[in-house]
Structure 1
């Protein structure tokens, strides 16, 4: 009789895992619950036995015994933002390998909603939280985060005092973009980006100013527009710049969501990229890649950022000896394409 005819094999028990590994039930339990006190030798024996037997721990029972849900929360502004799907997918994969589920929610950029979602994560007994919050100046949100009983990892936010963070080096890439535009002959280069209360915008502004300085170009505050990352803000900002009698010949748009608005404004004014105006955008999206001409972008590996964030969270969950908050800064780069050329004469 075949195995199929005999029926499915019985589910292996934790006692069988302990017997196969040659360790105590307590040692198996500590390995399965991620205790940092387990020696590497015992951990390896248990993991080998688990793999050989096909043992799958009961997550509900584990949660009841340990007080842990084996769930990591993730609050982001909008899952539809290009690139964030890569962050979420890679974080999920890392967590899943360690037996954790990812609970994903959207805050829609609303601080009040963020605080409500954090309360939901606490009620669901999340073991850690990955958070891309709206404003680093929101004292109410900071106070809420300081009171939570689980570790927090911030996404692209600068907070060295009390939480781990994974960030993108926007400053270097925007400095490089500004320098490259200056080398093409541009004298008036504009920057449109998000709120300057946020790390990404502050970092881009610093890089922009450094790029102007290195190219011996004057800084004109009228050429910087900060606000939301939305398409409508992109439209309004570049419209004001293009309608000026001394308009810029190049624009850096620091926010992928604003790009449709930027392109709409340029098109409705009958201007051509790059003959009338050069353009640098953010993130290598299909819009940037397949636009004619293809748009130069500031780009980075969102998937790597997700993997590091998940690993930071797991380290904290396991209680590893990490006394100070960590900061991982991911390099970014400028991908030059046909949207940049010398200024019109």
Structure 2
């Protein structure tokens, strides 16, 4: 089946131009319009619900797309966004886009077919080009935890690099000179940012970045456990682990315990996100707070502003903060 990208390539114009021709949302030169219409006819392209969803009347609803409905991170986003939108008189329509590009596209198509007035999305699998074209089609958009330069006024992010640096600096401050790192999937910007923060903290402390101490995982407990096992098999020296999210920290903790290591007496552990279960683990997990409620508030304020309802200041880049609990040992006071 032909896509909007196929039409743009055959017509020799941008995907945004194709969207404008389909939706009639803004002026396009006569020549470009003819090229697009010819390409659509040749390819047999059928516009999807992105074009059909641009109704003149509003429905009083906002579409929310997250990868999954379960789990404390995404459920926290949904709860906070829904609560804030209700204060402005909006209802939410929710769709779970899973972790594949095709399923996230289907979720967007579903939400637009319900004629939502705007979209708030945690969409890591969708390409920059797709999201830029989607916004150019006329639907107000806010992206959570993602930055696209061409959509900078539609992105609410946190400073992941700073968070990774603060977490690692805390371990170094307590005397840990050999710190392992379990990263998230490095095709994701937030995982890359947290890893870069880890590297920057080591460099600032005059320490060598050692790839043997780093293992990539997938932001899940199972992948965190697997990454921890890999590091242990390498027989390298380390006294602490920085896991790039709390789920992976839990998986790492289970492996360390199973292998006979005491946390934090022998191996210290720090996570990232401060999801609800972090404070109920044994030991309670030291972690970096991901300001979900603030991100949700900023996203709602921005989408309401885009809908022309309210003018307010929006904080586009939020700062994580360290939450100290019991999973990190102070080596300096025990020497």
Listed one character per residue, the Cα deviations across residues 222-247 of structure 1 (whole Å, up to 9, x for unaligned) are 32222311221101101111222214
1:335 aligned onto 2:323:
yes
Which residue of the other structure, out of 214, 220, 225, is the alignment partner of 1:230? 220
Q: How does 1:291-306 map to 2 (within 5 A)?
A: 291-306=281-296
1:139 and 1:309 mapped to 2: Cα distance? 19
2:276 and 2:293 mapped to 1: Cα distance? 17
1:215 aligned onto 2:205:
yes
Per the alignment, do residues 121 and 149 of structure 1 end up closer, same or farther by CA in structure 2, a change over 3 Å counting?
farther
Secondary structure, counterpart of 2:293 in structure 1: helix
Where in structure 1 are there 5+ consecutive unaligned residues?
A: 1-62
Listed one character per residue, the Cα deviations across residues 145-182 of structure 1 (whole Å, up to 9, x for unaligned) are 34643111111001121251111122222212211211
* 8 A contact 2:135–2:141 mirrored in 1: no
Secondary structure, counterpart of 1:80 in structure 2: coil
* 8 A contact 1:242–1:248 mirrored in 2: no
2:118 and 2:217 mapped to 1: Cα distance? 31
Tell me how large the CA RMSD over aligned residues is. 2.7
Partner of 2:112: 122
| TM value normalised by structure 2 | 0.76
1:133 and 1:263 mapped to 2: Cα distance? 29
Partner of 2:251: 261
**Could you say which structure has the greater relative contact order, defined with CA pairs below 8 angstroms and 6 or more residues apart?**
1
1:118 and 1:155 mapped to 2: Cα distance? 15
The structural deviation recorded for 1:336 is 1.8
* 8 A contact 1:75–1:107 mirrored in 2: yes
Which residue of the other structure, out of 136, 139, 145, is the alignment partner of 1:156? 145
Larger radius of gyration: 1
* 8 A contact 1:167–1:327 mirrored in 2: no
Listed one character per residue, the Cα deviations across residues 59-85 of structure 1 (whole Å, up to 9, x for unaligned) are xxxx9x952111111111123232333
Aligned residues: 279
Which residue of the other structure, out of 111, 115, 125, is the alignment partner of 2:101? 111
The structural deviation recorded for 1:269 is 0.4
Partner of 1:28: none
Per the alignment, do residues 262 and 310 of structure 1 end up closer, same or farther by CA in structure 2, a change over 3 Å counting?
same
2:315 and 2:193 mapped to 1: Cα distance? 15
Which residue of the other structure, out of 182, 188, 203, is the alignment partner of 2:193? 203
1:219 and 1:327 mapped to 2: Cα distance? 33
2:110 and 2:287 mapped to 1: Cα distance? 37
Listed one character per residue, the Cα deviations across residues 173-197 of structure 1 (whole Å, up to 9, x for unaligned) are 2212211211222222122122222
* 8 A contact 1:74–1:129 mirrored in 2: yes
Q: How does 1:129-140 map to 2 (within 5 A)?
A: 129-135=119-125, 138=127
The structural deviation recorded for 1:111 is 1.2
Where in structure 2 are there 5+ consecutive unaligned residues?
A: 1-52
| TM value normalised by structure 1 | 0.74
2:296 and 2:253 mapped to 1: Cα distance? 30
The structural deviation recorded for 1:126 is 1.2
Q: How does 1:1-345 map to 2 (within 5 A)?
A: 66-135=56-125, 138=127, 141-142=130-131, 145-146=134-135, 148-162=137-151, 164-318=154-308, 328-342=316-330
Secondary structure, counterpart of 2:271 in structure 1: strand
